Chains A and B, each alone.
Chain A
């Protein structure tokens, strides 16, 4: 099983600032390069898909959200934080042949 480790656990920022969230995989799987996703989750709601295929934005996702990465290291960047962006973010890999896994989450909170 590929274990995903997200950092930092909590990110304290102000609206308008740039947020950089990291996710590291325990092993590199060639298909993981394109089989990587990011989600946003707010309290009491299901996760919302932001990014799939490492860098493709899901339908309706604003362009301040961007994804990048390769090998074992992946990044979600929010260029300028809006008030509605304060939430928990999860990474996910779906390139493994045995199962898909999620990271433990990064909470982006208002500083």
Chain B
């Protein structure tokens, strides 16, 4: 059973870069060609899709965040990462990594989620 675990700093200063990693266990990040994804949940609000990356590269970003987001994959470590630049208080959220239900579908429902990591933005 594939499991996901986010890791990274819980506090980032305004204008700096938020960096998170999602470690994939119980299966290879190469298997079946999934779009490994990042989402976030703003405090007391709904969910927002950030972007995703195919196991061989080829990231896709939400147009609303595209200018600040980079998603990369490290198959040797079975993990993928998120970088969000120039953060502000509006970026404080719980960040989740997730795997979609179906392989090779960039947009899909998500059946596997990490537990989430809370990131605060403050000087």
Contacts and interface: CB of A to CB of B under 8 A. Distances in A.
Nearest to A38: B109
A47 B101 contact: no
A99 B38 CA distance: 13
Contact of A103 (B46, B49, B110): B46
Main secondary structure of the interface of B (DSSP, over half): loop
A101 interface: yes
Given A49-B101, A102-B47, A94 B109 contact: yes
B48 A102 contact: yes
A104 B48 CA distance: 10
Interface stretch (B7-15, B17-25, B111-119): B111-119
Interface string A35-77: 1010000000111110011000011000000000000000000
A37 B109 contact: yes
A58 B109 CA distance: 10
Main secondary structure of the interface of A (DSSP, over half): loop
B45 A49 contact: no
Contacts of B30: none
A49 B48 contact: no
A47 B66 CA distance: 24
A52 B115 contact: no
B12 to A, nearest CB: 21
Nearest to A94: B107
Given A46-B96, A49-B101, A102 B109 contact: no
Given A46-B96, A99-B62, A104 B111 contact: no
Given A1-B63, A90-B46, A99-B62, 7 more contacts: A52-B108, A58-B101, A94-B108, A94-B109, A100-B107, A101-B49, A102-B47
